[in-house]
A and B are shown apart, each in its own frame.
Chain A
């Protein structure tokens, strides 16, 4: 059985003010039936890769095939069997209702009218959007609009769906509803494949069978979330709460594998992956000598974020 997605030595260069290498010699295989995640910071190349696989963009070099068809030569064959949804999408027509917009997009895939209406009704109910079905698109909230976008992607019953940051900017409850549906869609339908890009660690960890970590256009690692976490190996993961200070110099301390620092409510949360526990003493000394105070300290089991830091050397944000 051919893989759902096969990418070999794929590169993409954007010309303009100087050439930008968005994808650098990427190799990737996604098997049929997988829920596969692409995890990386903004600008890592996730969206560029999705655009190439969706036939919106051509590779500069290398090859990519989707459902056994080459993205360059057989775009039309691919398009019949896929769909895509992007987070923050503003597509559709504001003067049409949600139901009318959805119907229009199903017709672009030739879905028979009755089948389209039944699928749309069922998905509207699943996403709790039936009350807004006849509201003009321009009158609904961002979350409702994004739910419509997700429904649009699934209403054509694709064999392979590409979701580019599908929960971007959404509230917690909407994100949970969408994640639940995505998980069920792959599990309950044999042979359906999903490629999901996200920069939310939790989303990747909760949903994906395998995750590729992508950074600066290169695939850094591909594994299951558990496998990626194991790669932290003997390292130790710490969460340190401090008073505000500049933590950047700590990156260069011996034994510090990776670090993220986020200010929060007048203090700072620093997440660190260290070679071993003994390094924490040097870290604390560094914090104190910077004039800051340690408010809290905890040692954690490695998370996907720690794995990312371990592999890339920095956090996602």
Chain B
């Protein structure tokens, strides 16, 4: 069997496990739909109380939907290999002949699917409940920007995954640390330009910043106070996606070799 066929099978199997696993726990659906909506509601009422432009309510719903993907990247990708080691799966993954990128791509694909369900429900319920108005003038551009954002964000997750594996329990702390601050600096609930040019420029290193800003511009027009032109943000996302995938590949190889040298691919007792 050729390597690409092996890796395709492996990736699809891992994606299947993640997707099917997520549907086996109905209580997750409740938490995944209701809890983000509560966060969104808080921001919307806050903006209404301040008398902000109604477009801000749209920013919040869009940002609320995108949190699903960011949380999945942090907890379902970045911390995943560490968690797999803790439950004893990592050594079986590492003994298998598949590419480690295929494994992570499978995780990403499965995670993307389950997160999309949560994101879509936040988006639909947010629009219906809070009567948020969005106009999709260019659906193709929106789909392209969303796809590039996902590629770049999950590529970043792949890089973090191999790095977190080497930092053991600190992985959890790093994930925690990256959750709320990224909501802030990436402008999940407001135009990122408000943070000033310096902070915004630095925040563009996180792909979700560019993705959100571009999608806001495509959905809310001039009210979105875009940071950069959409075409430029899309180009930067494409570059980031390619860079993260290459970096992930390099990083996984290095971390696996280091793991083999230092005995970190298995639990101590195994």
In the complex, which residue of chain B has the Cβ closest to the Cβ of A103?
A: B13
- Cβ of B261 and Cβ of A58 under 8 Å apart? yes
Residues of A with C-beta under 8 A to B270 = 47, 86, 89
Residues of B with C-beta under 8 A to A83 = 95
Nearest-neighbour CB distance to chain B for A120, whole angstroms, equals 13
Q: How far, in whole Å, are A86 and B10 apart by their CA atoms in the complex? A: 22
- Cβ of A108 and Cβ of B25 under 8 Å apart? no
B17 within 8 Å of A by Cβ? yes
- Cβ of A95 and Cβ of B24 under 8 Å apart? yes
- Cβ of A108 and Cβ of B263 under 8 Å apart? no
- Cβ of B21 and Cβ of A96 under 8 Å apart? yes
A250 within 8 Å of B by Cβ? no
A91 within 8 Å of B by Cβ? yes
- Cβ of A108 and Cβ of B93 under 8 Å apart? yes
- Cβ of B91 and Cβ of A110 under 8 Å apart? no
Q: How far, in whole Å, are A108 and B16 apart by their CA atoms in the complex? A: 12
Interface residues of A in 91-110 (CB under 8 A from B): 91-93, 95-96, 100-101, 103-105, 107-110
**Chain B binder among A74-82, A122-130, A207-215, A253-261:** A74-82
Residues of A with C-beta under 8 A to B21 = 93, 95-96
Interface residues of B in 88-108 (CB under 8 A from A): 88-89, 91-98, 103
B169 within 8 Å of A by Cβ? no
A55 within 8 Å of B by Cβ? yes
The B contact surface, by secondary structure, is: helix
B120 within 8 Å of A by Cβ? no
- Cβ of B89 and Cβ of A91 under 8 Å apart? yes
Q: How far, in whole Å, are A76 and B1 apart by their CA atoms in the complex? A: 14
- Cβ of B87 and Cβ of A108 under 8 Å apart? no
**CB-CB under 8 A for A107 and B87, given A47-B270, A93-B17:** no
Q: How far, in whole Å, are A17 and B260 apart by their CA atoms in the complex? A: 19
Interface residues of A in 45-82 (CB under 8 A from B): 47, 51, 54-58, 76, 79-80, 82
- Cβ of A91 and Cβ of B88 under 8 Å apart? yes
A90 within 8 Å of B by Cβ? yes
In the complex, which residue of chain B has the Cβ closest to the Cβ of A89?
A: B88
B12 within 8 Å of A by Cβ? yes
A136 within 8 Å of B by Cβ? yes
Interface string of B93-137 (1 = CB under 8 A from A): 111111000010000000000000000000000000000000000
Interface residues of B in 1-15 (CB under 8 A from A): 1, 5-6, 9-10, 12-14
Nearest-neighbour CB distance to chain B for A17, whole angstroms, equals 13
A35 within 8 Å of B by Cβ? no
- Cβ of B96 and Cβ of A91 under 8 Å apart? no
Residues of B with C-beta under 8 A to A108 = 9-10, 13, 92-93, 96-98, 103
Q: How far, in whole Å, are A103 and B16 apart by their CA atoms in the complex? A: 11
Q: How far, in whole Å, are A93 and B270 apart by their CA atoms in the complex? A: 18
Interface residues of A in 160-195 (CB under 8 A from B): none
Q: How far, in whole Å, are A159 and B11 apart by their CA atoms in the complex? A: 24
B52 within 8 Å of A by Cβ? no
- Cβ of B13 and Cβ of A104 under 8 Å apart? yes
Residues of A with C-beta under 8 A to B239 = none
Q: How far, in whole Å, are A108 and B1 apart by their CA atoms in the complex? A: 12
A280 within 8 Å of B by Cβ? no
- Cβ of B24 and Cβ of A79 under 8 Å apart? no
**CB-CB under 8 A for A95 and B25, given A108-B13, A110-B1:** yes
Nearest-neighbour CB distance to chain A for B10, whole angstroms, equals 5
A245 within 8 Å of B by Cβ? no
- Cβ of A56 and Cβ of B266 under 8 Å apart? yes
Most buried by A among B1, B10, B25, B96: B96
B265 within 8 Å of A by Cβ? yes
**CB-CB under 8 A for A90 and B87, given A56-B95, A95-B25:** yes
- Cβ of A55 and Cβ of B260 under 8 Å apart? yes
Q: Report which of B87, B92, B97, B261 forms a contact with A105, defined as CB distance below 8 A.
A: B92
A151 within 8 Å of B by Cβ? no
Nearest-neighbour CB distance to chain A for B144, whole angstroms, equals 31
- Cβ of B89 and Cβ of A92 under 8 Å apart? yes
- Cβ of A57 and Cβ of B265 under 8 Å apart? yes
- Cβ of B97 and Cβ of A58 under 8 Å apart? no
Residues of A with C-beta under 8 A to B243 = none
B228 within 8 Å of A by Cβ? no
Question: What are 13 A-B contacts defined by CB distance under 8 Å?
Answer: A55-B94, A57-B266, A58-B260, A79-B95, A89-B88, A90-B87, A104-B16, A108-B10, A108-B96, A110-B1, A110-B10, A112-B1, A136-B24
Q: A89-B270, A104-B17, A109-B97 are in contact. List 6 more A-B contacts (CB 8 A).
A: A54-B95, A95-B20, A96-B21, A100-B16, A107-B13, A108-B103
Interface residues in chain B, defined as those with a beta carbon under 8 Å from any beta carbon in chain A: 1, 5-6, 9-10, 12-14, 16-17, 20-21, 24-25, 87-89, 91-98, 103, 260-261, 263, 265-266, 270
Interface residues in chain A, defined as those with a beta carbon under 8 Å from any beta carbon in chain B: 14, 47, 51, 54-58, 76, 79-80, 82-84, 86, 89-93, 95-96, 100-101, 103-105, 107-110, 112, 136, 152
